[in-house]
Structure 1
Amino acid sequence: MREKRQAGSLLNPRLRVGLALIALVMVSVNLRPAITTVAGVMNQVPGVFSLDPSLLPVLGTLPVLAFGISGPIGPWLAQRLGTGRAVAVALLVLAAALVIRATVPALLLPGTFLAGMAIMTASVLVPQIVKANRGTGWWTGLCTMGFGLGAALGAGLVQPLEQAFGGNLASALAVWAVPALIGAFLIHRSGGRPTAAPTTAGTVTGATDVVTPLRKQRTAWAVTAFFGLQAMLYFAITSWLAVYGVSRGLAQADAAALLAWFSLAGLPASLLAPVLAGRPGILRIMAPGLGLSVAAALLGVLMAPLELQFLAVGVLGIVQSAGFGLAMALVVIRSDGPQSAGRLSAMSQGFGFALASLGPLGAGVLHTITGGWALTFWALAAEAVVLAGAGFFAIRGPLVSLEATESAERAAPPEQATTKATVVR
């Protein structure tokens, strides 16, 4: 009898952690279709929803802008409900927003903004749940792969779903509320314990124990810059890649498929990047190297002939998805605990997505001004070079901490800091 009780006590925590991982992946899958479904049919939106074509850049920017201003909602809600329940509430709001914007044309823009806020609220809590479960790089990799899978499914299935619903685009957009409801159920069932309140920033707890406000920690700003710059590139690409494909001579369905391929090609990279980031030797090369790789891939898409666009976009999808996987991993491995990871996630995604909102808008404006895509792609490539610099600084310096830590530990070299942050204790 005693042995059975011991076996049960071992099984239950493992089962709970396994369910939490499955729920996290399902949550991640829901955090991109709201964007890529619309991006895949951007040329159809004005006719179906009676939207002024001049507002298309605004439509592409709204969810990212919502990301930028709603970052604090996730940690605030988690303090009151627990992280699991907070994410579940966010997904319920997302489901409602998806239905509202699709069924009420006048609410397309407000509904898109509300969907962006719900996505951000859930997204900032993913690294905190990973850290709280002492997840390895595989956890972060599976979650980031879920983001990419959701993006690919959204872009790739929107037109087949439209045909399945008899040409009704609104239904093809609203149906994505169903997986959001499933995700809400799973993450709620996997746990929703309240998190501990954060240590008051700026206090001194002992002679050698020091707490520095997040805004004064250079590592936090470097991680934020890396996250924001890669997000700006991602949303600029996903908002306009299908339109770019049509301008090159592709049919609308083929252009949407190209956007889906961009996300699909990057799935293995989004899984492996966080795992590889746990190795300091690889991380030193990966962090700046990915920015330079994205710059080269963007110029490859611009210069490749039509028959090579599939290959060029696939390469871009690989390096871009690896950049996102690394950005999510940096939030986990460059913080010293779940609370610090949650706050760093809110900061990096909040400020980062505020910066990223300039991507779709800037790309659209440059295209409108020039009437072509060359300047847009060159500008994005230049931004990718800046991303390389942000990656260089993000992996150096002390860990981000909002709890009292020994000064000697905070000053640990990046190799030791990175290793410590990725150990599963």
Structure 2
Amino acid sequence: MLEKRQAGAVLGPRLRTGLVLLALVMVSVNLRPAITTVAGVMGQVPGVFGVDPTLLPLLGTLPVLAFGVSGPMGPWLARRFGTGRAVAVALLVLAAALVVRATVPALLLPGTFLAGSAIMTASVLVPQIVKANRGTGWWTGLCTMGFGLGAALGAGLVQPLEQAFGGNLPSALAVWAVPALMGAFLIHRSGGRPTTAPTTAGTITPGTITPGSITAGSTTAEEVTPLRKQRTAWAVTAFFGLQAMLYFAITSWLAVYLVSRGLSPADSAALLAWFSLAGLPASLLAPVLASRPAILRILAPGLGMTVALALLGVLAAPAELQFTAVGILGVVQSAGFGLAMALVVIRSAGPQSAGRLSAMSQGLGFALASLGPLLAGMLHAMTGGWEVTFWVLAAEAVVLAGAGFLAIRGPLVSVESAEISQQDAVNPSPVR
């Protein structure tokens, strides 16, 4: 009887851990199709939804702008409702936005902005849940791979779905609300609750505090440096923003560049999809490798330099070698995103610090990233070619290497004490 009880005690936490991880991956898969489905059928949007063609660039920019302004929403909702419920609410809003923008043509632009805000709200809380569950690099890697998988599925399935629905594009866009609802159910079911035992009583560590260690109604905010004054936080934010800026610049203009090199539009679109698919393994492995300090010291600055070389490789490669060159660029670019997500977890002291750092790095980072496509397009228009654009992007990648070097130096980012109150002392779990 005792053995059965012990087996059940072991199995229970394992099942809960598996459920939380499954929920996180499902959440991650839902955080890109809202963008890539529209990008894949952008040419059909004016005719189907009656949108002025001059507004199409705005349609592509709105999600990134929403990312930049809605970053603080995630931590705010997490403090009020708990992290798991906050993510579930964000996915419910995302599902509603996907349906509304597809079925009400006048709400296509507002619905896209709302979808972007919901995506950002959920996205910034993923590292917080990973940190609260003391997830390994595999956790972060599976989540970042989920982002890439969702992007590839959204771009690759929207046209087959349109055909399956008898040529009805709104239905092909609205159907992506179904996996969003599934993700909301899973994350609410798991609650995102920590699956590891709390810290030993009588000690105070980042992210936990024991009853009696603070007085009623008091906080220890004065003992903590504000996030905006922590140089590690700014270095992580710079790394996240620069890699995202490169990503959006590349995905916005790579197909156009390849057409200028003599490839057909169909081949150029296929290579753009290959850019995303080639990077999936790298987005999984980069966070795993980053969990090893000796590798992290090389990986953080080294990725920036590798991205610079890969960009120049795409610029120099003849048309027949672009498959290889674009594939290499996809690998190193996706590894950069995986590392950026991993740094939020690795360089934060506790779950609440991870949530706040995630909001800062993704909020400001995506605001910076929105300038990437604009800058690349302006340079191309001013010079009439692509050489200057690629060299400037390569120079930005060198700056990315510097940000990676600084991100792994210095103290961990910590705001835990600033967030702790007597209620936290009674219930130390940061995810409810």
When normalised by structure 2's length, the TM-score is 0.86
What corresponds to 1:181 in structure 2? 181
Q: Could you tell me how far 1:107 is from its partner in structure 2?
A: 2.1
Instruction: Tell whether the 8 Å contact from 2:248 to 2:372 is kept in structure 1 after alignment.
Output: yes
One-letter amino acid matched to 2:54: S
What corresponds to 2:427 in structure 1? none
What corresponds to 1:296 in structure 2? 309
What corresponds to 2:17 in structure 1? 17
When normalised by structure 1's length, the TM-score is 0.87
What corresponds to 1:91 in structure 2? 91
What corresponds to 1:394 in structure 2? 407
Cα distance in structure 1, aligned partners of 2:317 and 2:329: 12
C-alpha spacing 1:102/1:303, structure 2 compared with 1 (3 Å): farther
Cα distance in structure 2, aligned partners of 1:369 and 1:56: 22
What corresponds to 2:116 in structure 1? 116
What corresponds to 1:207 in structure 2? none
Instruction: Tell whether the 8 Å contact from 1:60 to 1:239 is kept in structure 2 after alignment.
Output: no
What corresponds to 1:260 in structure 2? 273
One-letter amino acid matched to 1:314: G
Cα distance in structure 1, aligned partners of 2:2 and 2:342: 41
What corresponds to 1:321 in structure 2? 334
Instruction: Tell whether the 8 Å contact from 1:42 to 1:243 is kept in structure 2 after alignment.
Output: no
What corresponds to 1:28 in structure 2? 28
Are positions 1:344 and 2:363 aligned together? no
What corresponds to 2:214 in structure 1? none
- Which moves more between the two structures, 79-88 or 165-174? 165-174
Instruction: Tell whether the 8 Å contact from 2:69 to 2:367 is kept in structure 1 after alignment.
Output: yes
- Which moves more between the two structures, 30-39 or 252-261? 252-261
Q: Could you tell me how far 1:201 is from its partner in structure 2?
A: 7.0
Number of aligned positions between the proteins: 398
One-letter amino acid matched to 2:25: V
What corresponds to 1:69 in structure 2? 69
2:413 counterpart SS class: coil
What corresponds to 1:420 in structure 2? none
Instruction: Tell whether the 8 Å contact from 2:132 to 2:193 is kept in structure 1 after alignment.
Output: no
Cα distance in structure 2, aligned partners of 1:307 and 1:47: 35
Cα distance in structure 2, aligned partners of 1:28 and 1:260: 19
Cα distance in structure 2, aligned partners of 1:41 and 1:380: 27
One-letter amino acid matched to 2:403: A
Q: Could you tell me how far 1:257 is from its partner in structure 2?
A: 2.9
Cα distance in structure 2, aligned partners of 1:285 and 1:26: 31
Q: Could you tell me how far 1:220 is from its partner in structure 2?
A: 0.4
1:51 counterpart SS class: coil
C-alpha spacing 1:109/1:373, structure 2 compared with 1 (3 Å): farther
What corresponds to 1:138 in structure 2? 138
C-alpha spacing 1:239/1:201, structure 2 compared with 1 (3 Å): farther
What corresponds to 1:203 in structure 2? 222
C-alpha spacing 1:181/1:241, structure 2 compared with 1 (3 Å): farther
2:222 counterpart SS class: coil
What corresponds to 2:236 in structure 1? 223
Instruction: Tell whether the 8 Å contact from 1:138 to 1:271 is kept in structure 2 after alignment.
Output: yes
Instruction: Tell whether the 8 Å contact from 2:129 to 2:193 is kept in structure 1 after alignment.
Output: no
- Which moves more between the two structures, 104-113 or 136-145? 104-113
The superposition leaves residues 60-102 of structure 1 with CA deviations (integer Å, 9 ceiling, x where unpaired) of: 2211111111111111111122111111111111111122222
2:134 counterpart SS class: coil
Cα distance in structure 2, aligned partners of 1:380 and 1:139: 30
Cα distance in structure 1, aligned partners of 2:167 and 2:220: 55
Are positions 1:58 and 2:61 aligned together? no
Q: Could you tell me how far 1:259 is from its partner in structure 2?
A: 2.3
The superposition leaves residues 257-292 of structure 1 with CA deviations (integer Å, 9 ceiling, x where unpaired) of: 322211111111111101111122211111111111
CA RMSD of aligned residues (A): 2.4
Cα distance in structure 1, aligned partners of 2:364 and 2:220: 19
Are positions 1:2 and 2:2 aligned together? yes
Are positions 1:279 and 2:292 aligned together? yes
Cα distance in structure 1, aligned partners of 2:178 and 2:252: 23
Are positions 1:354 and 2:367 aligned together? yes
Q: Could you tell me how far 1:247 is from its partner in structure 2?
A: 4.7
What corresponds to 1:415 in structure 2? none
Cα distance in structure 2, aligned partners of 1:252 and 1:41: 14
Cα distance in structure 2, aligned partners of 1:135 and 1:220: 21
Instruction: Tell whether the 8 Å contact from 2:137 to 2:342 is kept in structure 1 after alignment.
Output: yes
The partner residue of 1:312 within 325, 328, 338 is 325
What corresponds to 2:430 in structure 1? none
What corresponds to 1:416 in structure 2? none
- Which moves more between the two structures, 101-110 or 342-351? 101-110
Q: Could you tell me how far 1:381 is from its partner in structure 2?
A: 2.0
Aligned pairs (5 A) from 1:227-246:
227-246=240-259
Q: Could you tell me how far 1:404 is from its partner in structure 2?
A: 4.9
2:21 counterpart SS class: helix
Cα distance in structure 2, aligned partners of 1:105 and 1:242: 28
Q: Could you tell me how far 1:20 is from its partner in structure 2?
A: 0.3
Instruction: Tell whether the 8 Å contact from 1:236 to 1:363 is kept in structure 2 after alignment.
Output: yes
Instruction: Tell whether the 8 Å contact from 2:129 to 2:192 is kept in structure 1 after alignment.
Output: no
Cα distance in structure 2, aligned partners of 1:116 and 1:309: 32
One-letter amino acid matched to 2:95: A
